[in-house]
Structure 1
Amino acid sequence: MADPNVLNPHPPEFDRFLYASVGEDRNGYVVTVLSALARLGLDPWKETAELVTLGRDAAQARLGTLLARFWDVPSLASDHGRVARDLSQLLPEGPTSGNLKRAASTAADGRLNTSRAIWAVLAIIIALVQMFTVGGSGPGE
């Protein structure tokens, strides 16, 4: 049977944290953790997986450092420590589900989370294209 999470490969345990607000930007729009991490040039799911593997206190410190670099929300300039503390409470306690374990181990190992089957199919398609292109009509046909 196919993996039920194939269309949504991100761990649902991260949702509460990633969709939490870090404050309002200069235009009055609510900025989520997901948006803040993306605006900092980070992969939100990978960063969250790394935060989970750090533990609560280290995750709070890392998150505080990241939020201090985030200038789009003016209130974070003076309040990033409290916001980081509150947000760190929304992180999952530890890798419990299969997706969460996979995301955490991928983040810890620094590897991309790509499917080997996709790469195998792609290699077969390239080989077939090359066979048909090179093995086309030859002299005497």
Structure 2
Amino acid sequence: MADPNVLNPHPPEFERFLYASVGEDRNGYVVTVLSTLARLGLDPWQETADLVKQGHDAARARLGTLLARFRDVPALASDHGRVARDLSQLLPDGRTSGTLKRAALPVADGRPGTSGAIWAVLAIIFVLFQMFMVGGSGSGE
């Protein structure tokens, strides 16, 4: 039977945390944890998996450090500790499901990823379609 998470390989347990607000930017737009981590150059799902593995107190400290580095939300300059504490409460508990374990695996573990296989199949289909279209039109001779 096919994996039900093939189209969304990210753990659903992370959504509550990743889509939580860290505050408003200078233009009044809400900035999420996902956006914050991405803007800091981190993979949001990998970072979340790492936070979950660290435990509550270590995760709160790491999150506070990351939020202190983030300058797009002015309120975080003085309030990053409280925001980190509140956000750390949204992390799933340390009991890792199979999905969480898979998310915590490094990408370069030597196994081709499911999404990579999907993209490869789509690329082959696209090339075959292009060959069919170009080969089928002919020059009319």
State the TM-score bracket (shorter-chain normalisation): 0.7 to 0.9
Distance 1:97 1:69, change over 3 A: same
Distance 1:61 1:43, change over 3 A: same
Cα displacement (A) at 1:88? 0.3
Q: Which residue of 2 aligns with 1:4?
A: 4
Report SS of the residue matched to 2:31. Answer: strand
Distance 1:98 1:22, change over 3 A: same
Q: Which residue of 1 aligns with 2:23?
A: 23
- For residues 63 and 113 of structure 1, what CA distance do their matches in structure 2 show? 30
Structure 2: 5+ residue stretches without partners: 125-141
Does the 8 Å contact 1:95/1:101 carry over to 2? no
Cα displacement (A) at 1:113? 7.4
TM-score normalised according to structure 1 size: 0.77
TM-score normalised according to structure 2 size: 0.77
Distance 1:69 1:110, change over 3 A: farther
Q: Which residue of 2 aligns with 1:51?
A: 51
Does the 8 Å contact 1:37/1:44 carry over to 2? yes
1:25-44 to structure 2, matched below 5 A, reads 25-44=25-44
Q: 1:115 aligns with which of 104, 113, 132?
A: 113
Kindly report structure 1 stretches of 4+ aligned residues shifted beyond 3 Å.
109-114
1:128-139 to structure 2, matched below 5 A, reads none
Structure 1: 5+ residue stretches without partners: 126-141
Q: Which residue of 1 aligns with 2:83?
A: 83
Report SS of the residue matched to 2:94. Answer: coil
- For residues 111 and 37 of structure 2, what CA distance do their matches in structure 1 show? 19
Provide the aligned C-alpha RMSD in A.
Answer: 2.4
Report SS of the residue matched to 2:27. Answer: coil
Cα displacement (A) at 1:112? 7.8
Does the 8 Å contact 1:67/1:84 carry over to 2? yes
Distance 1:92 1:74, change over 3 A: same
- For residues 72 and 4 of structure 2, what CA distance do their matches in structure 1 show? 37
* CA displacement, residues 41-75 of structure 1 (integer Å, 9 cap, x when unaligned): 11000000000000000000000000000000000
- For residues 4 and 60 of structure 1, what CA distance do their matches in structure 2 show? 32
- For residues 75 and 112 of structure 1, what CA distance do their matches in structure 2 show? 42
Report SS of the residue matched to 2:6. Answer: coil
